[in-house]
Amino acid sequence: MPPSNRLAAETSPYLRQHADNPVDWYPWGEEAFAKSAAEDRPIFLSVGYSACHWCHVMAHESFEDPTVAARLNAAFVCVKVDREERPDVDAVYMEAVQAITGSGGWPMSVFLTPDRRPFYGGTYFPPADHPGRPSFTTVLDALTDIWDNRRAEVEEQADELAGAIASRSVIETRPGAASLLDAAHGGGPPDLLTPAVAELTTRFDPEWGGFGGAPKFPQPSLIDLALRQALRLRGRAEGDHAVLLATRTLDAMAAGGIHDHLGGGFARYATDTEWLVPHFEKMLYDQAGLLRAYLHGWQVTGHAAYLSVVDGIAEYVARDLTAPEGGVYSAEDADSEGVEGKFYVWTPRQVAEAISGGSDADAVAEAVAAWFDITAAGNFEGSTILRRPVGDALGGPDLVEEGRRRLLAARTQRVRPGLDDKVLCEWNAMYASALAEAAAATGRTDWATAAVGIGRFLSDHLVDADGRWLRSWQREGGARHLAYAADHAWLIDCFTRLAELTGEAVWTRRAVATADALVERFADAEGGGFFTTASDAEQLIVRTKDVFDGATPSANAVAALALARLGALTGDAGYTEHARRVVDLIGDLLTRHPTAFAHTVQTADLLARGATEIVVTGDRPDLLAEVRRHWLPDAVVAWGEPTDSPLWTGREPGAAYVCQGYSCRLPATDEDVLAGQLAQVTA
């Protein structure tokens, strides 16, 4: 065995973390599959990601152990996959693990036949046997015996699981959704938000916010559902209730330990109901989703604290995740110096040392300790995770703000968590889209510059010689892997938001080109919706569709909303029709299980009511500012450079045109008149 295995030359930081394991790892590819077939050995597939705490635990306990590695190398062909680079592989085999165990997660451990059908799987396996949970070596020994001596059982299980994956990965077109949308032309648009908010209410934690028990994940799409309802029913009891669902959740997350009170940004999720103890990894997609949720919270309620949270997220991403070339890195690890959370927690002694110096040191240290409840006993393994009372997360007295500044400066001297420095197309487009929306709403030119910079980076670095979008980029190794449906969907959304931010027609043209590529290579002409992989990509055992929302909205949900908005901006009904077909695909599940499809519910609501189209012609920054002062979730905005869209046909300069349902109001040349028109289309 050489000192490093085949992962040393990979671009993925996660794969390279395993390059010096004694396990004879292969990357996903034909070399591993051919060896498995030639030697009649099963494949051990291990899937994870760089910031995954339990991935690191299993690596230390098992993959770095020479005895375990020897068993793996003798009986299996071992394959490592970064789920963030290959979401298609992850999605297929996660379906198998969920079919076997009833749940999923990472690290994901799956055992495959040489033709890549799964026959057993799970997530984390411990180094020693526990009641109800066998050790990893026990699993390896049992599967080796079954493979060698009971092959017929393996084949039977592999066939059953392959069928289960196929059935779990396909949603048949259901009756109901099309008629719901068509009702917009009869007795008025269907009410999709009320049943969705009713389901949210049944899951709502009135004390600590959020929807469901521990562990608690940020769910920006659910917050947006509530805020949409609040906007529509403003001034009514139902609207006040919807505001409560959103604001209690936003307040509790901002106050909790999941929020980085010093450096900004949020950890991936909380292990408890109070949002106190996070898994400390920070993912770019969470920053994108939560930036948008707090932005919309500010726009609906006017609470300045929410805008401060947005500012903290943007500052964190700019300071700690942005590459010199302009792209944004994927994540920061939970661990530093081998200890989870060590970078973020404090003791009274550490606070005193960080703030020492100056005549005010004692007063500042005392104020900070009281403000963040830093005690000798601590609230996490003898140290303190910073937190605040719910609803009082930001804006401390001068002594506290000075202490916060000194603590952050001291923290920069600590050993930072590991950085996953790959730039993912999907997550960058997601973040740039949110930041562009925030820049337009606030007039922050630094946010606008950053959002445009990310858009330019993606256009310059994640397109191959044939004009195909690519999934992942790193400084060493460049871009690789054909982009997936989710990449294309978020790019369309990103480019339309950049067009609305800058008024530059080039971004609309890029959105159109990307939408055409999505439709050409990913659309299911028969069943509707979009497959995860392109028609000419590597064929896995099942070609899946991503339709259920998870940590991020599903690829189909994002595609539907992005295409609906692009159809409104360009006047191309073909894009709108593809958005409708996604809604039709999910059908009555939108009303039976709305929170599983929250992002698609928002699209269906937009399609049923009809997009609001706003055009500001000529040099009227005052009218554009009035439009941007409101959160208009169903609106698209055109200004600046005209395009060949019907939105621009027959428009006189120096006015704002508000149109909905093929009907335009009188052109507004006065801010108050425009404000009244916008209020009418929102209600």
Mind listing the pLDDT tens digit for each residue in 222-242?
999 999 999 999 999 999 999
Q: How confident is the model at residue 397 (pLDDT cuts 50, 70, 90)?
A: confident
Rounded-to-integer distance, Cα 329 and Cα 265, Å? 14
Taking the CA of residue 250 as centre, how many other CA atoms within 13 Å lie in the half-sphere pointing to its CB? 34
Among 483, 439, 437, which Cα is nearest to 458's?
483
Residues 6+ away with beta carbon under 8 Å from 14: 48, 49, 50, 55, 80, 82, 84, 420
Neighbours of 644 (CB within 10 A): 11
Q: How confident is the model at residue 172 (pLDDT cuts 50, 70, 90)?
A: low
Q: Which residues pair with 45 in a beta bridge?
A: 79, 110
pLDDT score, position 176: 46
For 185, which DSSP code? G
Neighbours of 168 (CB within 10 A): 15
Query: In Å, what is the CA distance from 438 to each residue of 8, 293, 656?
Result: 40, 10, 21
Rounded-to-integer distance, Cα 551 and Cα 537, Å? 25
Q: Which residue in this structure is represented by tokens 């609305």?
A: 500
pLDDT at 626 > cutoff 80:
yes
Residues 6+ away with beta carbon under 8 Å from 530: 485, 489, 518, 522, 523, 524, 545, 555, 556, 559, 582
Per-residue pLDDT, averaged over 396-416, amounts to: 93
pLDDT score, position 681: 82
pLDDT at 310 > cutoff 80:
yes
pLDDT score, position 180: 61
Average pLDDT, the chain: 93
pLDDT tens for residues 249-293?
Answer: 999 999 999 999 999 999 999 999 999 999 999 999 999 999 999
Residues 6+ away with beta carbon under 8 Å from 335: 53, 56, 280, 341, 342, 417, 418
pLDDT score, position 3: 47
369 contacts 406 by C-beta, under 8 angstroms: no
pLDDT score, position 175: 45
Neighbours of 452 (CB within 10 A): 20
The residue that leads in pLDDT, 53 or 575, is 575
Per-residue pLDDT, averaged over 185-211, amounts to: 88
DSSP string, 113-170: -TT--EEEEES---SS-BTTB--HHHHHHHHHHHHHH-HHHHHHHHHHHHHHHHHHT-
Rounded-to-integer distance, Cα 517 and Cα 464, Å? 14
Q: Which helix (H) or strand (E) holds 656?
A: strand 656-660
Cis peptide before 215 (omega within 30 of 0): yes
Cα–Cα–Cα angle for 216, 221, 227, rounded to 5 degrees: 110
Grouping H, G, I as helix, E, B as strand and the rest as coil, residue 485 is helix
pLDDT score, position 401: 92
pLDDT tens for residues 507-528?
Answer: 999 999 999 999 999 999 988 9
The two beta strands, 635-639 and 612-616, are: parallel
Q: How confident is the model at residue 187 (pLDDT cuts 50, 70, 90)?
A: low
- Would you call 160 exposed, middle or buried from its count of C-beta atoms within 10 A (0-12, 13-18, 19+)? middle
Cα–Cα–Cα angle for 212, 218, 532, rounded to 5 degrees: 105
pLDDT score, position 177: 42
Backbone conformation region of residue 341, classed left if phi is above 0, alpha if psi is from -120 to 50, else beta: left
143 contacts 552 by C-beta, under 8 angstroms: no
Per-residue pLDDT, averaged over 78-89, amounts to: 96
Rounded-to-integer distance, Cα 260 and Cα 308, Å? 13
pLDDT score, position 133: 84
Q: How confident is the model at residue 144 (pLDDT cuts 50, 70, 90)?
A: very high
Cα–Cα–Cα angle for 280, 288, 641, rounded to 5 degrees: 160
Per-residue pLDDT, averaged over 386-406, amounts to: 88
Rounded-to-integer distance, Cα 517 and Cα 356, Å? 58
Per-residue pLDDT, averaged over 531-543, amounts to: 94
Per-residue pLDDT, averaged over 128-133, amounts to: 84
pLDDT score, position 492: 98
Grouping H, G, I as helix, E, B as strand and the rest as coil, residue 172 is coil
pLDDT at 682 > cutoff 80:
no
Grouping H, G, I as helix, E, B as strand and the rest as coil, residue 494 is helix
Per-residue pLDDT, averaged over 102-124, amounts to: 93
pLDDT score, position 2: 44
Percent of the chain with pLDDT over 70: 96
pLDDT tens for residues 648-677?
Answer: 998 999 999 999 866 789 999 999 999 999
Per-residue pLDDT, averaged over 291-320, amounts to: 97
pLDDT at 4 > cutoff 90:
no
Q: How confident is the model at residue 132 (pLDDT cuts 50, 70, 90)?
A: confident
The residue that leads in pLDDT, 293 or 2, is 293
Among 85, 109, 81, which Cα is nearest to 97's?
109
Q: How confident is the model at residue 1 (pLDDT cuts 50, 70, 90)?
A: very low
The two beta strands, 77-82 and 108-112, are: unpaired
Rounded-to-integer distance, Cα 596 and Cα 440, Å? 30
Cα pseudo-dihedral 406, 407, 413, 419, rounded to 10: -130
Rounded-to-integer distance, Cα 188 and Cα 275, Å? 41
pLDDT score, position 69: 95
pLDDT at 182 > cutoff 90:
no
Among 609, 605, 608, 612, which Cα is nearest to 663's?
612
* Cα dihedral 537, 539, 540, 541 sign: positive
pLDDT score, position 34: 97
Q: How confident is the model at residue 169 (pLDDT cuts 50, 70, 90)?
A: low
Residues 6+ away with beta carbon under 8 Å from 230: 239, 240, 242, 243, 246, 300
617 contacts 652 by C-beta, under 8 angstroms: yes
480 contacts 461 by C-beta, under 8 angstroms: no
- Would you call 118 exposed, middle or buried from its count of C-beta atoms within 10 A (0-12, 13-18, 19+)? buried
The residue that leads in pLDDT, 19 or 164, is 19
Percent of the chain with pLDDT over 90: 84
pLDDT tens for residues 570-580?
Answer: 999 999 999 99
* Cα dihedral 280, 286, 287, 292 sign: negative
Among 571, 577, 575, which Cα is nearest to 562's?
575
